[in-house]
């Protein structure tokens, strides 16, 4: 993903969804606002379900010129015409994923709240580095959150694009707008009755 002048939208799917329903919902969201990248984040699905989702969502995304990456399964990205991979467990597999996918693919890396992990991923060759969560949900994880000053420092010191993700709200979007390249929205909109309306309300905080 190219580094933008202002924070852009990086859209993530829900961790679980009914493909028949979600495909139409996704199409409406992609038609409603500019999306820099879509991430397939389906968790706990068997291979057949994941392949079906990858193939269907790829068509929806590519019809709208939106690149699509998948969480961790970089071999599936290669086999099913996806544009790359998002490594959710750090840079351990980054070299292997890059070798398998080639230099033209998107290879991004989630680094939690660790500046050191982010710098390591950038040095290895990640196309972007993602930090988060931005707030503690109280439900999962160790309670560590990525501080705003990490984004401020990164935006001033490092050229590799940076992504903010995890439990974003309106106030965080306002604070992040000048110091991040991308924001990932997923459950923040999909959990609402009207994802399009919620998306536009949140994007308004980036302008």
Q: What is the pLDDT of residues 64-107, one digit of tens each?
A: 999 999 999 999 999 999 999 999 988 889 999 999 999 999 99
Cβ 72 vs Cβ 97: under 8 Å: no
Q: Which range is least confidently modeled, 3-7, 24-28, 59-63, 110-114? A: 3-7
> What's the token pair of residue 77?
């990205």
Question: Where do we find the tokens 């993602």?
Answer: 130
Q: Are strands 8-12 and 128-131 parallel, antiparallel or unpaired?
A: unpaired
Cβ 143 vs Cβ 136: under 8 Å: yes
Whole-number Cα distances in Å, 140 to 17, 124, 144, 166: 20, 29, 10, 11
Is the pLDDT at 198 greater than 60? The verdict is yes
Q: Tell me how far apart the alpha carbons of residues 40 and 15 are, in angstroms, rounded to a whole number.
A: 8
Cβ 204 vs Cβ 32: under 8 Å: no
pLDDT of residue 44: 80
Question: pLDDT (tens digit, 9 = 90+) per residue, 104-152?
Answer: 999 999 999 999 999 999 999 999 999 999 998 755 456 789 999 999 9
pLDDT of residue 45: 76
Domains and CATH numbers, the chain: 8-206 (3.20.20.70)
- Give the H or E element holding residue 91: none
Q: What mean pLDDT value characterizes the chain?
A: 94
Is the pLDDT at 178 greater than 80? The verdict is yes
> What's the token pair of residue 44?
């706990």
Confidence tier at 46 by pLDDT (50, 70, 90):
confident
pLDDT of residue 91: 86
Q: Tell me how far apart the alpha carbons of residues 130 and 117 are, in angstroms, rounded to a whole number.
A: 10
What would the mean pLDDT of 177-192 be, rounded to a whole number? Answer: 97
Percent of the chain with pLDDT over 90: 88
Phi, psi of 68 (to 5 degrees): -130, 135
Q: Residue 163's beta-bridge partner residues?
A: 130, 182
């Amino acid at each position: 993903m190219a580094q933008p002048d202002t924070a852009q939208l990086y859209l993530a799917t829900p961790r679980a969804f009914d493909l028949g329903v979600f495909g139409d919902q996704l199409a409406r969201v992609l038609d409603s606002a500019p999306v820099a990248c879509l991430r397939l984040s389906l968790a706990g699905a068997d291979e057949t379900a994941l392949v079906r989702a990858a193939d269907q969502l790829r068509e929806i995304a590519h019809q709208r010129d939106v690149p699509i990456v998948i969480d961790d399964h970089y071999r599936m990205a290669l086999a099913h015409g996806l544009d790359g991979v998002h490594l959710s467990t750090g840079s351990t597999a980054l070299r292997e994923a890059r070798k398998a996918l080639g230099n033209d693919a998107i290879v991004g890396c989630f680094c939690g709240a660790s500046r050191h992990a982010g710098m390591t991923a950038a040095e290895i060759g990640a196309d972007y580095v993602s930090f988060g969560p931005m707030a503690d949900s109280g439900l999962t994880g160790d309670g560590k959150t990525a501080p705003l000053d990490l984004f401020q420092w990164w935006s001033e010191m490092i050229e590799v694009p940076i992504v903010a993700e995890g439990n974003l709200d309106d106030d965080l979007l306002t604070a992040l707008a000048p110091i991040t390249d991308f924001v990932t929205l997923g459950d923040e909109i999909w959990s609402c009755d009207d994802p399009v309306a919620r998306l536009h309300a949140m994007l308004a905080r980036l302008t």
